[in-house]
Amino acid sequence: MHSVILQMAALILCGVGWRIAKPGELDADITRKVLTSVVYYLLLPALVLKVLWVAPLGMTSLMISALAATGVLSAIALSSLACSSCRHSKAVTGAVILAASFPNATYMGLPVLENILGETGSNIAIQYDLFACTPLLLTVGILLSRHYGRDTGNTHVLMSLVKVPPLWAAVAAVLLNSTGIPMSPWLDRWLGMLASGVVPLMLFSLGLSLRWDTWHPGQLPALLPVLVLQLVLTPLLIWGLASWFGLDQETLTGVVLEAAMPSMVLGIVLCDQYELDTGLYAAAVTLSTALSLFTLPFWFSLIT
């Protein structure tokens, strides 16, 4: 696990270094947007299709989805309760709830699980995110953002789901899987070629998104619920539930590590769109990501 974390940290640091050095005078945010768009619209759908088409789908998939949804919804409830006792502005409260509730299940969770558990890990990470976290972010997350921020009211929340290419790839893969249609060797190789770029580009883009200039010590009281929930309480809850469900060791390891991931990078988009505290959210992503490089090995050693 430690070697995996070191390799990931090196790729993330490449992104951080790019933000500082700006090679070719390319702005880090523009570079990140281009790379994440390629991953989001092309490479990640290819990976999702390749993995879920041949993955064993059944009761375990339902359990993974249920655990992921429980983790997100429980964190929303607990972070809302924590924020209700503070006198933060609505913009800060909304950013805290989003950052504390939605884990970086794909951009960081997928690389971790793929390196540790192989294809099984990719399967768990994709199901954890696309069958629960992303749908909840684009429905409940948007409703929360509208409540605490500026309600544009331009797009129905369900329309947001229609515009997610990896979800369409997941639907197609599940249909192909359930109908028993075999994947041709040529298509398998082509999808594998596209999918091979997902992990390095995700980690590099994650490094590009990290911004230490957004953090200052005065934010620590607001960030504390985020760090405690994302890195400690939610994985502890999922570990207990997964053990109660009787999941096999690989699946249990996967769902607990997914629950222990830092804050989801995509939440920055919602903060921008609905005028929540984007700086605070970016600080939460940066700080939780940095600390997760130490907490993830701890969780792995604890559950294996």
Lowest mean pLDDT among 78-92, 158-172, 216-230, 252-266: 158-172
Predicted confidence at residue 75, as pLDDT, reads 96
Tell me the helix, strand and coil percentages in the chain, rounded to 5.
80, 0, 20
* Distance separating alpha carbons of residues 194 and 44, to the nearest angstrom: 8
pLDDT digits over 192-228, tens only? 999 888 888 888 888 888 877 766 777 788 899 999 9
Residue 245 in domain? yes
Residue 105 has pLDDT above 80, yes or no: yes
Question: Strand, coil or helix: what is 263?
Answer: strand
Residue 27 has pLDDT above 80, yes or no: yes
Residue 4 in domain? no
As for how many domains the chain has, the answer is 1
Predicted confidence at residue 153, as pLDDT, reads 58
Report phi then psi at 103, rounded to 5. -80, 160
Residue 168 in domain? yes
Residue 30 in domain? no
Residue 72 in domain? yes
Predicted confidence at residue 67, as pLDDT, reads 97
Predicted confidence at residue 261, as pLDDT, reads 96
Residue 21 has pLDDT above 80, yes or no: yes
* Distance separating alpha carbons of residues 247 and 236, to the nearest angstrom: 15
Predicted confidence at residue 33, as pLDDT, reads 85
Report phi then psi at 218, rounded to 5. -65, -15
Residue 157 has pLDDT above 60, yes or no: no
Residue 158 in domain? yes
pLDDT digits over 45-104, tens only? 998 899 899 888 889 999 999 999 999 999 999 999 888 777 778 889 999 999 999 999
The DSSP string of 69-123 is HHHHHHHHHHHHHHHHTS---HHHHHHHHHHHH-B-TTTTHHHHHHHHHTHHHHH
Residue 26 in domain? no
Q: Domain range spanning residue 231? A: 35-303
Assign residue 264 a region (left: φ > 0; alpha: ψ between -120 and 50; beta: otherwise). beta
Predicted confidence at residue 152, as pLDDT, reads 61
Interhelix angle for 249-259 vs 278-303, to 10°? 150
| Average model confidence (pLDDT) across the chain | 88
Predicted confidence at residue 215, as pLDDT, reads 67
Average pLDDT, integer, range 145-159: 71
Residue 145 in domain? yes
pTM: 0.87
pLDDT digits over 122-136, tens only? 999 999 998 999 889
Place of tokens 């605070």: 280
Provide the pLDDT confidence category of residue 156 given band limits of 50, 70 and 90: low
Predicted confidence at residue 211, as pLDDT, reads 75
Question: Which among 260, 259, 284, 290 has a CA at the least distance from the CA of 93?
Answer: 284
Predicted confidence at residue 9, as pLDDT, reads 86
The CATH number of the domain holding residue 53 is 1.20.1530.20
